[in-house]
Structure 1
Amino acid sequence: MSEDEQVARRAYSTFAERYDAAAPTKPHNALYERPASLALLGDVAGLDVVDAGCGSGICAEKLARGRARVHAFDITPEMLELARKRCAGLDVDFHEGDLAKPLHWLASDSTDAILCSLALDYVQELGPVFSEFHRIGRSGCRLIFSMGHPMRDWADQRTRGDASYFATNLWGMHWGGFGAPNPYVQSYRRPLQDILNGLADAGWRLDRFVEPLPVPEMASVDPQHFAELSLSPAFICVRAFK
């Protein structure tokens, strides 16, 4: 098993059910990252959409209910089991797959849109991932992905450790908000230039770069994080076209 595969599976296999119960309404997801990413994706009715790193199927369900034909994959079997239950009866097919490896089950020029929500942080090298996304996309395909904000992560001593901003480093911390015991999750922090240059090198054209603001509803649901995120972003959301 590759290091990326170990990082990704370890990240969620131990608390998949707790994640699935919390993430649909957890403010950082439901009132911050997810609305920003889905707004960039736009209308998907009648489109073939790949949900890359689909987790427990929260976005896959939304896409299918938006009348997309959804092709979803994730590396964590426990997450896929939950995703299949969530999307039962909807037009979604699921596959166990690793973002860090070729997406061999997806044909070239076969998809109209790709959504990758908070999954690329678990992959060390982004270039091959962006190249595979480019391969499976039809002309005009739109790619939307979200990640941890490089500057936000580097500013936190827990995240960067002793690494330079320009380095890619593996780090981990115990996450709150998903019940006890707090899961220990590892991911990669990297400079912004590596993200955007990797995108361009794979043939994608950057269209929008968003440092999201929380939706107004978050002010009453989670005032502390609403105030923090209104001053400084935690994630980036990107849209690019083939």
Structure 2
Amino acid sequence: MSSGNAYHGEVGDHFARIADTSPYNAFTDRPAVLDLVGEVAGARVLDVGCGAGHYAEALVERGAVVTAVDGSATLLRHARERVGDRAELRPHDLETPLDFAADGAFDVAVCALVHHHLAAREQLLAELLRVLRPGGRLVLSTTHPTAEWLHHGGSYYDESWVEHRLPDPSLSIRYRRLPLETLVNEWLAAGFTLERLVEPRPLPELRDVDAARYEKLCAEPAFLAARLRRPPS
């Protein structure tokens, strides 16, 4: 993600620590995103805002050739520990163009739980359209607008930046509330075709790990995930 809103220092360490087993990451968002990605054996995949390398690891294990970028040196360190030299890992501020990548360089792009942290969302979408080959797909996930409304209150249509406190009250992350119409219209305006939209439910296995969180995530959406397609010509 952007260097300004990336998970630096203790926040990055916290995220890397919980993402292995979190009900939200391991049991809800990640399975949904990887399902939308589908078959990637031999595909050139760009992992945009790769975090601690969980998606990059899964994509490599599926046979993809992965380039993974993030604005946090902390998270890239964790990603290197996870994937080693099996993927190309590079620092990049996602508020700036993807100038390291040629037009049509990738078959697939994955942008998991990054979009809402960015100010230059339209620029990133335009860049992702550029670096994907014609017919290539972008799989994107973000916080669910309804979840943000339930948590923060006020107007559902509020698009303000918010600070979300982590369990350690000294740590927080910053992101923007975005209603559904803003999200979808930005994707379409960038030139993508919306192929599939998902409100991820948790894996059934979560019931045995955390029954209360499982019931909550089955009743209240936490994330929104989409598979977008660059038109073939």
> Counterparts of 1:148 and 1:17 in 2: how far apart (Å)?
21
Once the two structures are superposed, the pairs formed by residues 162-241 of structure 1 within 5 Å of their partners are: 164-176=155-167, 180=168, 183-241=171-229
Q: Which residue is equivalent to 2:30?
A: 34
Q: Which residue is equivalent to 2:84?
A: 88
Q: Secondary structure at the match of 2:197?
A: strand
Q: Which residue is equivalent to 2:50?
A: 54
| TM-aligned CA deviation for residue 15 of structure 1 | 2.9
| TM-aligned CA deviation for residue 181 of structure 1 | 6.0
Q: Match for 1:138 among 133, 136, 140?
A: 133
| TM-aligned CA deviation for residue 192 of structure 1 | 1.1
Deviations 1:72-112 (A, max 9, x none): 0000011111111211131x111111222100001111100
Q: Secondary structure at the match of 2:24?
A: helix
> Unaligned regions of 5+ residues in structure 2, if any?
none
Whether contact under 8 Å (1:124, 1:168) holds in the other structure is: no
Q: Which residue is equivalent to 1:22?
A: 18
Whether contact under 8 Å (2:72, 2:91) holds in the other structure is: yes
The letter of the residue matching 2:82 is R
| TM-aligned CA deviation for residue 182 of structure 1 | 5.7
Percent identity between the aligned chains? Answer: 32
> Counterparts of 1:102 and 1:125 in 2: how far apart (Å)?
10
| TM-score scaled by length of structure 1 | 0.89
Report how many aligned residue pairs link the two structures: 229
Q: Secondary structure at the match of 1:27?
A: coil
| TM-score scaled by length of structure 2 | 0.93
> Unaligned regions of 5+ residues in structure 1, if any?
none
The letter of the residue matching 1:18 is H
Whether contact under 8 Å (2:3, 2:72) holds in the other structure is: no
> Counterparts of 1:46 and 1:5 in 2: how far apart (Å)?
30
| TM-aligned CA deviation for residue 129 of structure 1 | 1.3
The letter of the residue matching 2:118 is V
The letter of the residue matching 1:84 is R
Q: Hey, which bits of structure 1, 4+ residues long, moved more than 6 A? A: none
Q: Secondary structure at the match of 2:130?
A: helix
> Counterparts of 2:122 and 2:182 in 1: how far apart (Å)?
9
| TM-aligned CA deviation for residue 67 of structure 1 | 1.1
CA RMSD across the alignment: 1.5
Whether contact under 8 Å (1:126, 1:195) holds in the other structure is: no
Change (3 A) 1:18 1:166: closer
